[in-house]
A = this chain, B = another copy of it.
Amino acid sequence: MGASHPEPNPTNFTGQDALFIEDFAVLCTFGATEDGGVDRQAGTPADGQQRAWFSQLLRQNDFHVEFDHVGNQFGLKEFVPGAPYVVVGSHLDSQPTAGRYDGAYGVLAAAHAAFRLVEEVEQGLRSPRYNLAVVNWFNEEGSRFQPSMMGSSVYTGKLPLEKALETTDAAGITVRDALETIGCLGTGQGPEAAFAAEIHIEQGRGMERAGVTIGVVDSNWAANKYGFRVHGEQAHTGSTLIEDRKDALLGASMLVVAARQIADAHPGVVHTSVGQLKVYPNSPVVVPSQVELLLDLRSADEEVLAQADAELHAHLAKIEKAANVRIEKFFSHCWPVTPYQIEGVELAEKSAADLGLSNSRVKTLAGHDSTNMKDIVPTVMLFVPSVEGISHNTREFTRDEDLIAGVSMLTETVGRLLEGALAEDKPVL
């Protein structure tokens, strides 16, 4: 099956816009899948290839390339010696079979916005008060190495460096070894941030339905992510009496079904899912003795999430009894609803209005590296529409014209941050 959407086509554009689409078409080739998606999990050879290409692109545009101690890739441009940086970017890594846009668009858009801003500075059109850093955060997806948003979590001090580097994938390979293998393990903590910005595809249908080109993210949904281990007992699927069984897969399946029941009980306001489930020994005629699964609950309303969480925990006790199993919680990672700084939201809205781009405030249901960055510096998060809201799927698609509008929007927003629009002692604009 070929791609169901048109390929990026630079001939529909001119100048800097055509260059962006050209570069994006090249970026789509790394880890390309037959059906028009990509497979470039963090620290894999495909990730190494795209990082090498991205370093080259940055250097060709006179940016200094640096990897920090957890593999975050920075392109640095110093305007004001010693000043902190406006850090703009996203992530190039992907889920196992993913779309081309998730993360990758935001990294390339950041680079092109930065290239344009350097030109504007050189032409005397902008007077920077900060320096400029393009970033490709390491392992945002968390598919190969958990947790997700690893690079930005270490950068923002939420995850200890050593813990991140010692994390192993399913084959026992550490983050440290994976980064060394692709030549992306640097030293140091990266540039000091003053502000941050990120642009990303929406991964939902809201903006497409509303006909809006730019989403200005004002907060993230709260999320509770859990790892559960269901303990049963191995037995013969044919001969063992039903009453004697301790079927770990039955317990796990009841948990998957319960998670959906919780979402259905809070229509539109709670999202739940199980994305990963591992069965042991996973043999045809053996009642499974152990199942591990990762379950997440999300809501824009913390009280509703607390209610959903209580329902989940009530289900656990019932399932333990019904399936004759024991359920252990081996992992939890929870984050609250947190707003993006209102001054950043307003700055973005003004920028969009000045550019004549339709826009509205939106919330992000997914986590992003900017979710981390906003906890340490004022951060602007922008969305462009996703056709049909398809996400984490090779059929993910955003139209070229929306990509282009997003680059203009990001350029303008980051340009204003660079000039000190949100500085404490900011000049009257």
Contacts and interface: CB of A to CB of B under 8 A. Distances in A.
Nearest to A393: B234
Contact of A389 (B95, B240, B263): B240
A195 to B, nearest CB: 25
Interface stretch (A174-182, A250-258, A304-312): A250-258
Contacts of A281: 95-97, 143
Given A141-B285, A275-B285, A249 B239 contact: no
Given A205-B244, A242-B263, A253-B252, A237 B285 contact: no
Interface string A317-339: 00000010000000000000000
A148 interface: yes
Contacts of A294: 284
A391 to B, nearest CB: 4
Interface in A237-290: 237-242, 244-245, 247, 249-250, 252-254, 256-257, 260, 263-264, 267-268, 271-279, 281-289
B276 A97 contact: no
A158 interface: no
Contacts of A278: 282
A250 B260 contact: yes
B284 A148 contact: yes
A390 interface: yes
A250 B277 CA distance: 11
A283 B287 contact: no
Give chain A's interface residue range (CB within 8 Å of chain B).
35 or more
**Copies, count:** 2
B284 A276 contact: yes
Contacts of A393: 233-235, 289
A380 B223 CA distance: 61
Nearest to A236: B391
A298 B238 contact: yes
B287 A392 contact: yes
Contact of A238 (B97, B288, B296): B296
A370 B205 CA distance: 59
A175 to B, nearest CB: 16
A204 interface: yes
Interface in A376-395: 389-394
Interface of A: 95-97, 141-143, 146, 148, 202-205, 221, 223, 225, 233-242, 244-245, 247, 249-250, 252-254, 256-257, 260, 263-264, 267-268, 271-279, 281-289, 294, 296, 298, 323, 364-367, 389-394
